[in-house]
Amino acid sequence: MALYDPASAIEVLFEAVEDGMQKTYVNEVINFMRHSDGEYESFVPGPGSREISIVVRSTDPSTLRRQLDYFRRSKKHLLLFLSTFDFVSEVVIKDAKQVLDTTSAPATAISFSCFGDIGMMMTALDSRTEGIAATTDANGMDGYASVLDAQNESLYFEIVAGDLYMSPANYMIIARAKSTGGVADDLTVRAYDSTASSATITAAHTAVVGDYLYYISEGSITATQDGHTMQIGALKATAGANAISVDMVAYVQSSQNIVIPAAATETTVTLSPTADNKIRSASATTVYATEAYVDCGASGAAVNRCLLQFDLSEIQSSATITSATLSLYWYYPAGATRTNDTVMEVYRPSSAWNTSYVCWNNRASGTAWSNAGGDWHDANNSSQGSTPFDSVTFAAATVPDNAFHDWDVTDLVQDYVDGTYTNTGFLLKAATEVSNYIAFYSVNYSGTGMRPKLTVVYEV
């Protein structure tokens, strides 16, 4: 249902989780980031430690992939909540890959390394939770939440002695909540020892107005409490005139490394092309390396495409690319409309090309494209595929606005930087190539402020 990064308060909600969870036991060394000191250290799972694999679905798989890749590359220490399995654990992502299918919500397979024993979660909708009954809330987990609006109202579930109990260990008690008033210390998140009639792990929080956030209280269950009945939940502590919506409560054994570090430093670089070329079907052997423009679409029988190359060597291979934007300045045909829309798509050239020789027929001196007009791979890594990394539509009825237009190439630049693929630049073409010619200034244009650019934001 949700993946949460306590260090940056980033939440990823899964729209659907497939039935079934694969579990294996591991004893391998895993490098992960301890947030308490910002250093890498080796973690060796003990007996009973798990690696789990799940399949999730999202209607925005490219965004999900970027988020998962960011977590995986940075070895983030995360919390995973799966209400389908009453499951919660501290995890790091080992692998994430898209499963190609034709559904409207494509599948993504993810494997996690878990820390220690798993915990348990319940949503407000779950019949095993007690306290204030759930009401509908579109932003709540499972679409429901319990609204606590009077002092000492609560949402909780019990770990019952003699059935399933919390063994001596360090724990995090977690509530996902929001408030209407932001009253100070009005949300208590706790493990209450019913056997001893005392709050074993407890802390007061000020629930933020508006969006759901996670509120965590940390502490220990001692040997003297082994086997006691515990209530895991959230409670409205004051009589303040506000309401707290709680949609999930949970507990998990804690490494107690969840301490928010200083914000990561982002670096932004703006790059100019080292080369750009247009290629034309009507001039299949002509090299256009010094033109002041690059173009796409079709004019009459002539089909036009373009290639751009940027030097990414100044970005470390370990960098996490948070955004990469390719920008082209649309200027032509000046004041004129077109018969058809121009849907400009960006792809990954399948092989290196040489700006001094590349043309419609050839990519280098004496080396032809396998497909005249260029070889490419799409966002699904399909050769000559039709799923672009991004596209921008220039409507037929519009005229050039003499402004930059942007393509999101974050995923592709990440793959180039970390060495997944050799940096072959970008190939741009129209989705259909009929009566929809347009042109952009190239790196050779005299006005430097209107040349193509690639803006990359990254963390190391």
Place of tokens 């932001």: 182
Q: How many CA atoms within 13 Å lie on the side-chain side of 107? A: 12
The CA-CA-CA angle for residues 146, 149, 155, to 5°, reads 35
pLDDT the model gives residue 10: 86
CATH 2.40.30 fits 2-118, yes or no: yes
- 259 has pLDDT over 50: no
Cβ atoms 27, 45 nearer than 8 A: yes
Range from 9-13, 38-42, 390-394 carrying the lowest mean pLDDT = 38-42
344, 404 contact by CB (below 8 A): no
Task: Label residues 305-326 b or e (16+ Cβ within 10 Å = b).
Answer: bbbbbbebeebeeebbbbebbb
CA pair distance 325, 271, nearest whole angstrom: 10
Q: How far is CA 54 from CA 4, 68, 108, 113, 123, in A?
A: 16, 13, 8, 12, 20
pLDDT tens digits, 417-458: 999 999 999 999 999 999 999 999 999 999 999 999 999 999
Q: Rounded to an integer, what distance in angstroms lies between the CA atom of residue 266 and that of residue 70?
A: 13
Residue with token string 């592709």: 412
pLDDT over 80 (residue 50): no
DSSP 67: H
The ranges assigned to domains in the chain are 2-118, 123-253, 267-459
Give 120-137 as a DSSP string: EEEETTSTT-EESPEEE-
Best-predicted range by mean pLDDT (8-22, 241-255, 362-376): 362-376
Per-residue pLDDT tens for 107-146?
888 988 887 667 899 999 999 999 999 999 999 998 999 9
Task: State the pairing for strand pair 50-57/22-25.
Answer: antiparallel
Using the predicted structure, report yes or no on whether residue 151 has a pLDDT greater than 80. Answer: yes
pTM: 0.57
Angstrom CA distances, 96 to 101, 156, 258, 420, stand at 16, 33, 23, 14
pLDDT in tens, 334-382: 999 999 999 999 999 999 999 999 999 999 999 999 999 999 999 999 9
Nearest one of 327, 266, 314 to 457, comparing CA atoms: 266
- Report the CATH superfamily, name and number, of domain 123-253: Galactose-binding domain-like (2.60.120.260)
pLDDT per position as a tens digit, 179-200: 999 899 999 999 999 999 998 9
Q: Please tell me the distance from the alpha carbon of residue 2 to that of residue 19, in angstroms, as a whole number.
A: 15
